[in-house]
Structure 1
Amino acid sequence: MSNTSNFRDAIRQARTQALVGPNVIAKALPYVGGGLVITALGTYGGLGVIRTNPGLFLPTFFGAIILELILFFVAQNVAEKGNNKVALPLLATYSLLSGYTLSGLIYLALRTQGVGIQGIGLAALGCGITFIVARQIGSNLSDQDGMALTKTINLGMIALVVVLVVQLLFSAFGVYTPNWIEIGISGLGVFLFVGVSVVDFYILPRTYRDDQYLPAALSMYLTYINLFVFILRLLIAFNSRD
């Protein structure tokens, strides 16, 4: 959910700018697709570690998260400066680490009856359909509607982050979320990231020039990954028992 930190800047820029990058989405989409392929490879590697050396996975998982956070800010800064030759391998590494950190959730989905590989495929398909619909809606929003939606989603994302932090703190002390609350949190996450996907197609062409396709790709990639995570969490919650 790192892209939530960019919302305020995006809103501020969109208020004062017309369409500055009409082709930035089209240029960014191939890099989003490439990032997702690399993420799948990272997930495959993570699943291999879980199955062959489960004791090694947890420390490497936390190490990957730390590196992922560092790489996000470094890659975003480099990409926004237009240094694509440096940004591209950084973003590829970020995608690989992202896949590795996703492997725990994928492993849980594979072990959950009623989810499995079909549920993972359904989550990925749901993300793809969402992006197709969101592109049609977001690209045709008026400025008034686009700004209103962006502000609403921004507030919702802040609330979601607070809830997730509280959930993480509780789990650290051995207090686990009841299944019905997990369904509510996951459902809220799905709803908000569907909104974020619409906002992306409104905000990005007003924020980035056509030659700034890599930071735009990073934003869409993060939206896709987070939407996938929450759809999968929702499917797991629905098919789990307390």
Structure 2
Amino acid sequence: MSSTSNFQDAIRQAQSSALVGPNVIRNALPFVGGGLLLTAVGSWGGLGVISTAPQLFMPTFIVAIIAEIALFFIAQGVAAKGNNGAAVPLLATYSLLSGYTLAGLIYVALSTVGIMGIVIAAGGCGITFMAASPIGSNLSERDGFALAKTVQLGIIALLVVLVAQLLFSFFGVFTPTFLEIAISGVGVVLFVGAAVVDFFILPRTYRDDQYLAAALSMYLTYINLFIFILRLLIAFNRRQG
């Protein structure tokens, strides 16, 4: 939900803007990397809770995800104002919480695709961002906004499917493997597109001194792409099993 909101805001701002932050992505990248390291720390902590006190994980997961959503909107607002001193600890805390809420998926991944699957998912995200940079930076205005709108609509539709998937799971109706593969595959494609769009949209949305707001957007794209690649690998593994 937070990633969709961030994407919509960025497109809306960019549509009426020329290139306002030519260096904003370069300034943002170290903070994206730092956020991902903190996410790894948060996941490690979550895995520790699962292994030592599994009965505590779900209650703390619920608290963490509520806090994560609330903190996202606070951090986004502070970062967009260029108040970087206040935004850094907010984004650091958000990254830790994000890692904690990812621990359940990583736990499942470790028991199905192993550490190599996690490395492949992380590496795939890195390769995607390296490839997306020259593509997104060189898109024409027409193509860039057309792609942004397409990806935006696709992510909204994907969110609806994921909410329905979650609701069905509460009633004991779980997604068949072939459908999970399809959903995860679509998610991978959409967030690959979102990575390209980031390099087009963000310099038209944020000034160079608003690099933390840009870092948050790129971080969300990376994390969501990681999640869907990992879900896809898990689904393939289960089908083969």
- Whole-Å separation in 2 of the counterparts to 1:7 and 1:64: 22
Q: 1:13 — aligned with what?
A: 13
Structure 2 length-normalised TM: 0.98
CA contact (8 A) 2:7 2:217 kept: no
Residue 150 (structure 2) pairs with residue 149 (structure 1): no
**What pairs with 1:43-192 in structure 2 (closer than 5 Å)?**
43-112=43-112, 115-192=113-190
* SS of residue in 2 equivalent to 1:31: helix
- Whole-Å separation in 2 of the counterparts to 1:209 and 1:225: 23
Deviation readout 1:38-68 (Å, 9 max, x if unpaired) = 0000000000000000001010011100000
* SS of residue in 2 equivalent to 1:231: helix
- Whole-Å separation in 1 of the counterparts to 2:5 and 2:212: 17
1:218 Cα deviation (Å)?
0.2
* 80-89 vs 187-196, which moves further: 80-89
1:10 Cα deviation (Å)?
2.4
- Whole-Å separation in 2 of the counterparts to 1:200 and 1:102: 23
Runs of 4+ deviating beyond 3 Å? none
- Whole-Å separation in 1 of the counterparts to 2:15 and 2:66: 34
- Whole-Å separation in 2 of the counterparts to 1:58 and 1:34: 27
1:17 Cα deviation (Å)?
1.1
1:141 Cα deviation (Å)?
0.4
1:9 Cα deviation (Å)?
2.9
1:84 Cα deviation (Å)?
1.0
Q: Read off the aligned partner of 1:155 and give its amino acid letter.
A: L
1:13 Cα deviation (Å)?
2.3
- Whole-Å separation in 1 of the counterparts to 2:87 and 2:7: 21
- Whole-Å separation in 2 of the counterparts to 1:70 and 1:179: 33
1:158 Cα deviation (Å)?
1.1
1:85 Cα deviation (Å)?
1.0
1:6 Cα deviation (Å)?
2.8
Deviation readout 1:141-200 (Å, 9 max, x if unpaired) = 000000100011111011101100110000011100000000000000000000000000
1:5 Cα deviation (Å)?
1.0
CA contact (8 A) 2:128 2:195 kept: yes
Q: Read off the aligned partner of 2:110 and give its amino acid letter.
A: L
Q: How many residue pairs end up in the alignment? A: 240
CA contact (8 A) 2:109 2:234 kept: yes
1:14 Cα deviation (Å)?
2.0
Deviation readout 1:109-155 (Å, 9 max, x if unpaired) = 0011xx10000000000000000000110000000000100011111
1:11 Cα deviation (Å)?
2.4
* 34-43 vs 78-87, which moves further: 78-87
Quote the RMSD (CA, aligned, Å): 1.0
- Whole-Å separation in 2 of the counterparts to 1:8 and 1:227: 18
- Whole-Å separation in 2 of the counterparts to 1:225 and 1:4: 13
Instruction: State the percentage of identical aligned residues.
Output: 74
Structure 2 unpaired stretches of 5+? none
* SS of residue in 2 equivalent to 1:212: helix
